[in-house]
Amino acid sequence: MPEDPTAHHGLAALTRRFEEAAEKNDREFGIIKSDLTALRLQIGNLDQKAGNLDLGQDGP
C-alpha cells in the first residue's frame, strides 16, 4: 500500500509540534530547577544567619 503524502505531511507536522513542545518543557523545567536551587541556597544562608543570632553572634 503506497504512503499517503497528505498523511505523511500531517504526521511530520505533528511530530515537529510535539518535539518543539518537549523542548519548551525541558527549558522551562531547567529554569524552575535553577530557581529552586537558588531558593535552597538562600534558605540555607538565612538559616545560618538565624542560627548565629540564636547563639548571640553577629553574621556578615
What is the model's pTM?
Answer: 0.62
Return all residues near 49 (Cβ < 8 A) that are at least 6 apart. 59
Burial of 49 (C-beta count, 10 Å sphere; 0-12/13-18/19+) = middle
Q: From first to last of its 60 residues, what are the pLDDT tens digits of the chain?
A: 568 889 999 999 999 999 999 999 999 999 999 999 999 999 999 999 998 888 776 555
